[in-house]
Structure 1
Amino acid sequence: MLQVGDSAPDFTLKTTAGETFRLADQRGRSIVLYFYPKDDTPGCTAQACSFRDQYEEFQDLGAEVVGISSDSEASHQKFTQKHRLPFPLLADEGGRVRKLYEVPRALLGLLPGRVTYVIDPQGKVSYIFNSMNRATDHVAEAKKVLREMNVAPGQ
């Protein structure tokens, strides 16, 4: 299992805009990498919209939000447009990156799991939050961790 303190596995996937996203290219900034089951389902929509509604706070904390599911680029484009998502969604068709991050399946193995990783500017995993049913808690947990990371030692 991937653990806090481990180097975040590098990967390259296409964004909703058709651009290439490579995790290693993001060094120097924090990344909130969230894996979710499926575009336009109730829990996933609530989670994405919660990240959207608090996106400026993530930016103020020096972090980029990135969502990943096994949906296609076309599905991500529709989902992004419909809900005005300001952050990239990555198409992990076939689930290669999900396996790389060891995201467990949920609900008796029937659904892809919902896990959020906070990755620090050096590319290390700082936090892992795994909860299928508490979709919007992923947002609050990630912000809490980023705030703690941004507090200077001794303060």
Structure 2
Amino acid sequence: MAASPQIGQPAPDFTLPGGVLKDGEFAHGDYALSSRRGVPVVLAFYPGDDTTVCTKQLCSYSSGLEQFDGWDAEVWAISPQDLGSHASFAAKHGLRMPLLADTGREVARTFGVAAPGIGLRRAVFLVGPDGTVRWRHVALLGATYQPVETLTRHLAEMSDR
């Protein structure tokens, strides 16, 4: 497993297929981290669609998107499932953020969160407008997740720098 990028280091660039619910349809597109320079991006790695903790986490982030918008931040959720699974998951729970498909786990490996046996570790990286990692949390066990309030607090601290 590759080392996870540390605070102050450049976030590894990537492009992944993904989609987002728009007017009840799952609109597909490619998501390149480098294309979002100038705005903060919250990268939320999660183990699986429609699992108990992942559903709670992403529903929480989706219902709290306006809090992220207050910091001009985008939230991208990344897991190993394919776009079909993501489309069903998003539609079932009304998820409003892009869900990205890292089916080969290449991006998870690059961020040091791929884990043998479980697929990937639950992790969150806050990438600053300059493309550097400003805050990170990589869980040893995936039973809990970082709440919206924690993430927006770190976004606020990021904007104070």
| TM > 0.5 | yes
Q: Which amino acid counterpart does residue 63 of structure 1 have in structure 2?
A: A
Q: Residues of 1 paired with 2:96 and 2:69: CA distance?
A: 11
Q: Residues of 1 paired with 2:127 and 2:9: CA distance?
A: 10
The answer as to whether partners of 1:129 and 1:141 remain within 8 angstroms in 2 is: no
TM-score (norm 1): 0.91
1:101 aligns with 2:108: no
Alignment of 1:1-150 (within 5 A): 1=3, 2-16=5-19, 17-105=27-115, 109-111=116-118, 112-131=120-139, 132-135=142-145, 137-150=146-159
Q: Residues of 2 paired with 1:4 and 1:104: CA distance?
A: 19
Q: Residues of 1 paired with 2:132 and 2:6: CA distance?
A: 10
Superposed displacement of residue 104, structure 1: 4.5
Aligned residues: 148
Q: Which has the higher strand share?
A: 2
Superposed displacement of residue 138, structure 1: 4.3
Q: Which amino acid counterpart does residue 142 of structure 1 have in structure 2?
A: L
Q: Which amino acid counterpart does residue 125 of structure 1 have in structure 2?
A: V
Q: Residues of 2 paired with 1:47 and 1:88: CA distance?
A: 14
Q: Residues of 1 paired with 2:70 and 2:149: CA distance?
A: 15
Gapped runs of 5+ residues in structure 1? none
Gapped runs of 5+ residues in structure 2? 20-26
Q: CA RMSD in A?
A: 1.2
Superposed displacement of residue 140, structure 1: 2.9
**Misfit runs of 4+, over 4 Å:** none
The answer as to whether partners of 2:60 and 2:147 remain within 8 angstroms in 1 is: no
